Amino acid sequence: MHKNKGFSVEEKIRVGIINYLNTRPLLYGLQHPPINRQIELIEDVPARLAEMLINDQIDVGLVPVAITKRLPQYFINGSYCIGAIGDVASVCVFSQVPLEQVEKIYLDYQSRSSVALCKWLIKNHWKIQPEIIDAQNESYLKAIKGTTAGLVIGDRALQQRPKFEYIYDLAGEWKAATGLPFVFAAWISTKKLPEDFIKEFDKANAYGLSHLEEVIAQIPEGIYDLNKYYSQDLSYTLDNEKRKGLEQFLKILSSPS
């Protein structure tokens, strides 16, 4: 049983991780000893992992940071995240026309943080007033044409890049608006995790990031330049600047729209 009071030595800690390319380095580290003997890995899309954390179906998850607003208490664990100090490449609004000509924008159903960020950019940075449509499934990707744009995240976003003339990268737009890096997802729990576990967890994350060649070797070629993606587009260290960006974003989420 997983009780909120703490963890016994015998039970495995349930770890939820996003099943996108951007988490592969972290996942690689978690699949190796000694940490792999202490955890049960559960992979899913960001929004579903967030619901699992709320419902106590996982103990810690690499989940969209926007979910913190729905948690009675939360802890951000360790020194790693899914972040970017500029363009991230895999969280973008795609369009066939410039933003000022866009009449509708579909919002990806797989993430909460990216949707919240996109809504903030629409109102406060881009200052446009399109009709906003919450996508329900993958069919919305076919609706991105003419004056209808769409927010797409994850591996699907990398696949969309060659298809559109106008690509608005949300992390880069946030940096332009605030001067700060952006944190899309962090290792969040609803109860305090053991200190010794967090130390081992951090080591595992670092291990994956220091073995990028092995990580890339396991992924079919042709999706995107993964060397660039892992070493330039993404920034995994939850440093002070990213914490400032995260704090700023959480303030925005808390303020009246």
- Whether residue 227 is predicted with pLDDT greater than 70 in this model: the reply is yes
Residue 223, pLDDT score: 82
Q: Which residues contact 245 (CB under 8 A, 6 or more apart)?
A: 83, 174, 178, 180, 181, 182, 183
pTM of this structure: 0.92
Place 8 in a pLDDT band, splitting at 50, 70 and 90.
low
**Residue 220's pLDDT band (boundaries 50, 70, 90)?**
confident
For 137-181, the pLDDT digits (tens) are: 999 999 999 999 999 999 999 999 999 999 999 999 999 999 999
Q: In what order do the strands lie in the sheet with 148-153?
A: 131-134, 104-107, 148-153, 91-95, 166-169
Which one-letter DSSP state was computed for residue 39? E
71 burial class (0-12, 13-18, 19+ CB within 10 angstroms)?
middle
DSSP 8-state secondary structure symbol assigned to residue 123: I
